[in-house]
Each structure stands twice: as structure tokens, then as C-alpha cells.
């Protein structure tokens, strides 16, 4: 009976431990639909840990509902997703492939002024040379890219109690100073420096262990009382 009780009591601990090893799927926030996957409009490449590579990521930008044969500016920025969302400031370079699947792209290097996020309403303030895209005769643009960005760490993404938050890659399509559309990649864990504090999520994992320990102690005391009474 005691053995069966101990097996049942350890099930919550095993379940809690499995949560720490499971990569949860990220949710996307985008106002533009590309096929059946909204995040297909703006994809990012992650490393083997499922995190954005430190300081650089690549993928594809796909747009299909713009004005034909028209040139637009792009603001491509990393956004921290803490309790308060923020744009990660610093120097960015967006480089397009030499040949695009649809339309054409011109690379650019620019500086983002970090601060509270205004996605999806407006891009962050920038200086420097913004990259541009030119749509084809059908108003479509699709091109592979590489984005280099500031390393995401607690100095520019400190909205999660001083440890790193998940991030995503936002992009704003601009005609002059007017926003035409915006989209975002899926949210992923950040690359960069390690957390400066222990994440709060580690403490709840210990709670089932405490419950099991108390239950085992209770069973032992109960068994001892039965032995004394007999």
C-alpha cells in the first residue's frame, strides 16, 4: 500500500519536471495573413535551442497586397515581449539576397531609438539609411534577408524582472512617414547574454517536490503509530 502511494505521489513531480523540458509553441501577433500561417509573412531563423541567434537572424519577408511597381521603406526591429513590450534600440542592418523571388530589395543600415513599443500602430524612431523594397507588377514582394541587430540582454530588455524576455521580429512597411502595413514573426526566446537573475519559473517546479516530501513523511509517521499501537 505504501509503495503504491509513493508511486502516485511522485506523478505530480514527474509532470512538473516534464514541463521544464518542453518547448512551448510561440504565439504570433500580426495583422497581415500570408497563406495559412500569418508568421509566414516574416520568418526568422532560430538556433538548435529555439532561440534567435545572438545578434543576427535570417528568413524571408513576403508581401502580396501592396501597390504594383512601388518602392517602400522598411523598419525592421527586434521587440522584447515582457509585461511591457519594448523596441530594442541600437544599430541594425537589413541585407537582402542578390535576387528576390518577387520584386527587389535594397539593403540599409540604421539606428533604432529603443523604448516602449508602439506596435502595430507605428514604428520606432530611426536614423540612418532605411532599407527599401520595390514590388513587382502585381504588387508582390518576397525576398530572403539577413538582419543583424544589437545583442538582446538585460541592458536593453529589462522588463522581465531583470532576466531576458522572449522576443520577436517586427517589420513596418512605410510610404514616407505613413505606415502602410506591419507584420511580426513568431515570438521566440532571445539569444545574447545569459539572464542576470534566476527566472521565477524555477520556483514552482520545486513545489510538487515539497508536497511529495510532506506526503512521504506523513505516511512514515502513520506507519510508526500503527506499529506502536500494535
Q: Consecutive sets of 10 residues in the chain, 230 residues long: mean pLDDT of each?
A: 48 41 31 61 89 92 93 97 91 97 98 96 97 97 96 79 84 95 90 57 49 63 66
**Given this model, what pLDDT does residue 95 score?**
98
**Given this model, what pLDDT does residue 24 score?**
25
**Given this model, what pLDDT does residue 191 score?**
83
**Given this model, what pLDDT does residue 142 score?**
95
**Given this model, what pLDDT does residue 192 score?**
75
Q: What is the pTM of this model?
A: 0.70
Which one, of 170, 160, 172, 168, lies nearest residue 191 by Cα?
168
Amino acid at each position: 500500500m505504501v509503495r503504491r502511494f509513493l508511486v502516485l505521489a511522485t506523478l505530480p513531480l514527474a509532470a512538473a519536471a516534464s514541463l521544464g523540458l518542453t518547448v512551448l509553441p510561440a504565439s504570433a501577433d500580426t495583422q497581415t495573413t500570408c497563406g495559412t500561417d500569418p508568421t509566414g509573412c516574416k520568418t526568422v531563423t532560430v538556433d538548435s535551442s529555439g532561440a534567435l541567434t545572438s545578434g543576427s537572424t535570417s528568413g524571408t519577408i513576403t508581401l502580396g497586397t501592396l501597390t504594383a511597381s512601388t518602392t517602400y521603406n522598411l523598419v525592421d526591429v527586434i521587440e522584447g515581449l515582457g509585461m511591457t513590450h519594448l523596441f530594442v534600440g541600437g544599430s541594425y542592418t537589413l541585407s537582402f539576397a542578390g535576387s528576390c523571388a518577387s520584386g527587389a530589395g535594397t539593403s540599409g543600415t540604421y539606428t533604432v531609438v529603443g523604448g516602449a513599443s508602439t506596435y502595430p500602430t507605428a514604428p520606432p524612431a530611426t536614423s540612418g539609411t532605411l532599407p527599401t523594397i520595390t514590388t513587382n507588377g502585381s504588387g508582390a514582394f518576397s525576398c530572403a534577408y539577413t538582419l543583424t541587430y544589437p545583442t538582446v540582454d538585460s541592458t536593453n530588455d529589462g522588463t522581465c524582472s531583470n532576466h531576458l524576455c522572449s522576443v520577436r521580429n517586427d517589420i513596418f512597411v512605410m510610404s514616407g512617414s505613413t505606415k502602410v502595413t506591419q507584420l511580426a514573426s513568431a515570438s521566440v526566446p532571445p539569444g545574447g547574454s545569459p539572464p542576470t537573475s534566476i527566472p521565477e519559473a524555477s520556483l514552482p517546479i520545486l513545489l510538487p517536490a515539497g508536497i511529495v516530501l510532506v506526503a512521504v513523511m506523513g505516511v512514515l509517521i502513520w506507519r510508526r503509530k500503527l506499529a506502536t499501537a500494535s
